[in-house]
Amino acid sequence: MSEVILELQDLSTHFFTDYGEIPAVDRVSIKVHKGEVVGIVGESGCGKSVTSLSIMQLIPSPPGKIVGGEIRFKGENLALTTEKRMKKIRGNEISMIFQEPMTSLNPLFTIGNQMIEALRIHQKISKKEAKEQSINMLKRVGIPRAEQVIDEYPHQLSGGMRQRVMIAIAMSCEPEILIADEPTTALDVTIQAQILDLMRILNDEKETAILLITHDLGVVAEICERVVVMYSGQVVEEGTTREILKDPKHPYTQGLIKSLPKLHEKEQKLYSIPGTVPKPKMDRKGCRFASRCERAFDRCFQVDPELFLIEGERKSRCFLYDEKKGDGIDRAASSIRS
Amino acid sequence: MQRPLLEVKSLKKYFPIKSGILGRKVGHVKAVDDVSFTVNKGEILGIVGESGCGKSTTGKSILRLIEPTEGEITFNGQDITKLNTEELRKLRRDMQIIFQDPYASLNPRHTVEKIIGEPLLVHGMTSKVERSSRVKELLEVVGLSSYHASRYPHQFSGGQRQRIGIARALANNPQLIICDEPVSALDVSVQSQILNLMEKLRDEYHLTYLFIAHDLSVVKHISDRVGVMYLGRMVELTTKDKLYEEPKHPYTQALLSAVPDPDPDIKKERIILKGDVPSPENPPTGCAFHTRCPHAMDICKQKRPEFQAVENYHFVACHLYQDGVQ
């Protein structure tokens, strides 16, 4: 496999609020290889967005703070780097696109203005060259009439077009990694298909790695190679997309997939995970999912499970896999039944 | 055959566009443009479409929360577009609505008891004791506990709030509930809880739902028949199985192919539509879809296709299936 360009090692980001310390991201480790598309999936409040903001050092501080762990980008630990250095990295080597394209573009400046700004900060080129490059970039992301659009304001474009502009800005400096935080959630399905298609093309052509944050398992199946499932601030399962979707190991992932209505199957009644996602809090004992888990046993409520290695890169944070090989599952499961 | 519970005939809702200090009308947004369908007793009719296609406006017009511009809405044999306010108020006992955003649709200053009890009071249950016991009963029905009655909305999670919204809609034993994107604000694991609850309630209380959503998989799961809307018009309407297995309208085909499937083994022919939905302020002539349609013909630009049956219970508005063409 190609080299690792981004590696999170036990990253912990906590928020210090009036109600106490909240471990929004709790010892998260994720690897992204060159040119790879990795998905982070989870429900709202699981810490997936905070993870991505931590990588970019965009956590509002206070109340947020990275309290532990490393963010290794090509060998450099971003958690310790200076703001000056981060400014060089952001938008140049690591870019980010957000969920809501309307709020991430400045309504007071033209599209061209915002694109040229990003280019000129990171590259020594003239305004004219920057404008030419911007027009080319807009054409590449499939914007018709690029020469005119560059002089237009964000409100003159539709949601899908704005997201294309965001991608154009993010890709203009040819970053090594693109972090996409729910890039298609605000868009309609037909537009979502266009944007996913575009991201796939850019990934192929430029070998840009993509870290895609989403709650939609369909989007993951569409574009990701590897998937990390998060729950209540922790990584609970990791594997290739096929492994996760076809053979989920963690009871949470299993429940999540079973509770989706499928387009190509007929199901009578949907499975549903009882209860709701617990809020992360300090000093929690045991597995975060135990109270909603059908297969939980005594140990789950007392001891915090580690991320057990099943085989290769396949990991699951569940005591059912507390033996190096897979046969532990059945034994543990039968011990619950008896 | 039994008479349908709800019959909508050529429903239109045009919103005026005003401009200048005098507020002159300069045009119309045709949010709903000539939509007709029926809902039978006990069935769930799903309506899908992308944002701005007029599906929510259709739902709200049926309750006259938005006054329709034109058209007939017959509920239980009565044309409700002609009712006065008082008659309408009485009728609303039988027609309720569940809204999309459980955060915005519950008054944060009222307790749950007041929120659910209000429709009971409006419809004549004046005894406080009676109301209180009915509220508690309703809370149990939707899977909450009776002690939740004294709490405020902010003390609940999104899924629980949506259950309160459902309890409020159920309060007066309605016949029809219009569900306007009831699960789209919820997480997947909570979404399936609410969908299961809604199905259970349908069976127990013999309810009829008009289920409006943009998520095709959710609509497929819950509906008996499904209608697809595009730019204020109904383009296809048929039973769930027919629509999802053999969609006829090119828009339906594209829409279905665009849904990402979480099963990596399903490889499908993806139809990627070009461009965006045109503005409903100035919709294309003829068939509204012709600007993006891969099968567009000359006639599509000139003549609006009729919404007609091409098979039993399968209605399509497309020139490909009209007589004399093809």
Residue B121 forms part of a structural domain:
no
Q: What is the DSSP secondary structure assignment for residue A59, as one 8-state letter?
A: -
Residue A328: the pLDDT is: 44
The domain in which residue B180 lies consists of 6-94+174-230
Contact of A90 with A97, CB cutoff 8 Å = no
User: Domain count of chain B?
Assistant: 1
Q: Which residues pair with B45 in a beta bridge?
A: B210, B225
Q: Which residues pair with A38 in a beta bridge?
A: A211, A226
Pick from B275, B208, B264, B246: which is nearest to B50 by CA?
A: B275
Contact of B189 with A41, CB cutoff 8 Å = no
Q: Which residues pair with B78 in a beta bridge?
A: B75
Q: Maximum CA pair distance of chain A?
A: 75
Least confident of A324-338, B159-173, B275-289: A324-338
Cβ-based contacts of B261 with chain A (< 8 Å): 218, 221-222, 262-264
Residue B58, pLDDT above cutoff 90: yes
| Average pLDDT value for residue range A189-207 | 87
Report pLDDT digits (tens) over A140-168: 888 888 888 899 998 888 888 888 888 88
Residue A55 CA to residue A52 CA, distance in Å, equals 5
Cβ-based contacts of B189 with chain A (< 8 Å): 43, 255-256, 259, 272-273, 277
Does A192 contact B260 at a Cβ distance shorter than 8 Å? Answer: yes
Residue A109 CA to residue A3 CA, distance in Å, equals 39
Report pLDDT digits (tens) over A167-190: 888 888 888 999 999 888 878 888
Q: Could you tell me which chain B residue has the CA closest to the CA of A45?
A: B187
Residue B72 forms part of a structural domain:
yes
Which residue among A192, A215, A263 places its CB closest to the CB of B220? A263
Cβ density class A33-51: b for 16+ within 10 Å, e for less: bbbbbbbbbbbebbbbbbb
Q: What is the DSSP secondary structure assignment for residue A237, as one 8-state letter?
A: E
Residue A330: the pLDDT is: 47
Report pLDDT digits (tens) over B232-249: 899 999 999 999 999 999
Residue B138, pLDDT above cutoff 90: yes
Other C-beta atoms closer than 10 Å to the C-beta of A170 total 24
Residue A294, pLDDT above cutoff 50: yes
| Average pLDDT value for residue range B130-150 | 91
Q: With a CB-CB cutoff of 8 Å, which residues 276-305 of chain A face chain B? A: 276-277
| Amino acid at position B148, single letter | H
Residue B187 forms part of a structural domain:
yes
Pick from B249, B93, B103, B233: which is nearest to B162 by CA?
A: B103
Dihedrals φ, ψ of B36, to 5°?
-130, 135
Report pLDDT digits (tens) over B5-17: 999 999 999 988 8
Dihedrals φ, ψ of B49, to 5°?
170, 165
Residue B249: the pLDDT is: 93
Q: Is B55 exposed, middle or buried (0-12, 13-18, 19+ CB in 10 A)?
A: buried
Q: Alpha carbon A84 to chain centroid distance?
A: 25
Pick from B116, B190, B103: which is nearest to B146 by CA?
A: B116
Residue B43 CA to residue A174 CA, distance in Å, equals 53
Which sign, positive or negative, has the C-alpha torsion B195, B62, B44, B10? negative
The pTM for the full model equals 0.85
Report pLDDT digits (tens) over A251-289: 999 999 988 888 877 777 888 888 777 777 777 788 888
Contact of B70 with B11, CB cutoff 8 Å = yes
| Average pLDDT value for residue range A100-106 | 81
Task: Count Cα atoms within 13 angstroms, Cβ side, for A32.
Answer: 27
Residue A306 CA to residue A29 CA, distance in Å, equals 12
DSSP H or E segment with residue B71: strand B70-75
Dihedrals φ, ψ of A39, to 5°?
-105, 140
Strands annotated E in A75-208: 76-77, 94-97, 177-181
Residue B76 sits in a domain whose CATH number is 3.40.50.300
Report pLDDT digits (tens) over B218-230: 999 999 999 999 9
The answer to whether residue A269 neighbours chain B at the CB level (below 8 Å) is yes
3-class secondary structure, B274:
coil
| Average pLDDT value for residue range B197-215 | 92
Does A272 contact B265 at a Cβ distance shorter than 8 Å? Answer: no
Which sign, positive or negative, has the C-alpha torsion A172, A173, A177, A180? negative
Residue B120, pLDDT above cutoff 80: yes
The answer to whether residue A273 neighbours chain B at the CB level (below 8 Å) is yes
Residue B90 forms part of a structural domain:
yes
The answer to whether residue A222 neighbours chain B at the CB level (below 8 Å) is yes
Residue B151: the pLDDT is: 92
Q: What is the mean pLDDT of chain B?
A: 88
Residue A193, pLDDT above cutoff 80: yes
Residue A323: the pLDDT is: 66
Name the CATH superfamily for A4-93+175-231: P-loop containing nucleotide triphosphate hydrolases (3.40.50.300)
Q: In which band, very low, low, confident or very high, does the pLDDT at B1 lie, cut at 50, 70 and 90?
A: low
Residue A334: the pLDDT is: 47
The answer to whether residue A239 neighbours chain B at the CB level (below 8 Å) is no
**Which segment, A195-204, A269-278, B170-179, B274-283, is predicted with the most confidence on average?**
B170-179
Residue B323: the pLDDT is: 65
| Average pLDDT value for residue range B127-155 | 91
Q: In which band, very low, low, confident or very high, does the pLDDT at B326 lie, cut at 50, 70 and 90?
A: very low
Residue B266, pLDDT above cutoff 80: no
Q: With a CB-CB cutoff of 8 Å, which residues 96-135 of chain B face chain A? A: none
Sequence-distant (6+) residues with CB within 8 A of B295 are B250, B320
The single residue listed with the structure tokens 């604000």 is B185
Cβ-based contacts of A188 with chain B (< 8 Å): 50-51, 214, 277
The answer to whether residue B202 neighbours chain A at the CB level (below 8 Å) is no
Q: In which band, very low, low, confident or very high, does the pLDDT at A338 lie, cut at 50, 70 and 90?
A: very low
DSSP H or E segment with residue B8: strand B6-19
Report pLDDT digits (tens) over A73-94: 988 888 888 888 888 888 888 9
Residue B138 CA to residue B151 CA, distance in Å, equals 15
Pick from B265, B268, B284: which is nearest to B276 by CA?
A: B284
